[in-house]
Amino acid sequence: MRIEVDAVSAGERLDGLIAARCGLSLRQARALLEGGAVRVSGGSLAKGRRMEAGAWIEVDVGEAPAEVVLRPQPEVQLVVLYEDEHLVAVNKPGPLPSHPLRADEGPTAAGALIARFSECASASEDPREGGLGHRLDRGTSGVLLAARTRTAWHGLRAALGDVSCEKSYLAEVAGHTPLSEVVFEPIGRGGPRGGQAVVGGGRDPLPARTEVERVALRSQSTLVRARLASGRVHQVRAHLAHLGHPVLGDEVYADGPARLIAAALQVDGLRLHAESVRLQHPVTGTPLRVTAPPPDWAR
């Protein structure tokens, strides 16, 4: 399907225009953008791009995924780290996805959240997210924040994106690192579906800064703490790999030597844990820090 952007549609977001013209949800439109099913004059596929009059968009509508329905999953038990009338923070287990991406997906943190806090189901704009203000990759454990009202959700999204917000991760990486390092390299999207990070390039690169501090040296690895304000796609994993110290158990960014170390240490999952999030409370404005206890491998 070809969309010609006229004067009436000028200024609309790319994802919203695709959704409106093709009869899709925003989630479906964004999936098409991420999956390479869209071509746009001018090249940029950023979902928030404001379209100009005279531009064109070509969409392979047949690639649109089926709608995903988030269902309560009371059988999934999550440890609640913090709750008030506006927010909930839970400790996500590593193997559990944050929210469903496919119609046939199994248990997720979002499904468990709405089973316990039903109001979270209508808090986020995308109903499959169950009020989540952000997400953690499958394999990453730790702090996951959700809102209980739409007002709190908008505030949470803004607070998580503010420069004052600090996210701290623990990671076990291949090899021995210096005492401290700082990576300040932009991250763009790459891979066949745009789901991989490309340090220093890729599509629509954005600034990204990660501070890395050595916590403990081990025989073939190092336990490090990574701090960041931004939250680009796979930022911690990609920046650590860029330094030559991939996260153990990383099936995407680990090189051959890192895979050999992971095999020798019998690593059975991604050694990455979202240790804490420090932000301004999105409703009260007071400082808030939520911390998740470290997993066994990080002790």
* Distance separating alpha carbons of residues 89 and 218, to the nearest angstrom: 31
| Distance between first and last Cα of the chain | 54
Q: Length of the chain in residues, anyone? A: 299
Question: Pairing state of beta strands 196-199 and 203-206?
Answer: unpaired
CA distances from 114 to 95, 127, 201, 269 (A): 19, 11, 38, 27
* Distance separating alpha carbons of residues 109 and 78, to the nearest angstrom: 8
* Distance separating alpha carbons of residues 240 and 100, to the nearest angstrom: 27
| Residue 147 near residue 135 (C-beta atoms within 8 A) | no
Burial (CB count within 10 angstroms: exposed 0-12, middle 13-18, buried 19+), residue 279: buried
Could you please report the per-residue DSSP string of 151-202?
Answer: HHHHHHHHHHHSTT-EEEEEEEEES---SEEEEE--EEEESTTS-EEEET-S
Question: Pairing state of beta strands 87-92 and 141-147?
Answer: antiparallel
Beta bridge partners of 187: 199, 206
Catalytic pick among 137, 162, 204, 268: 137
Enter the tokens of residue 275: 């240790």
- Catalytic status, residue 137: yes
Which residues form the catalytic set? Answer: 137
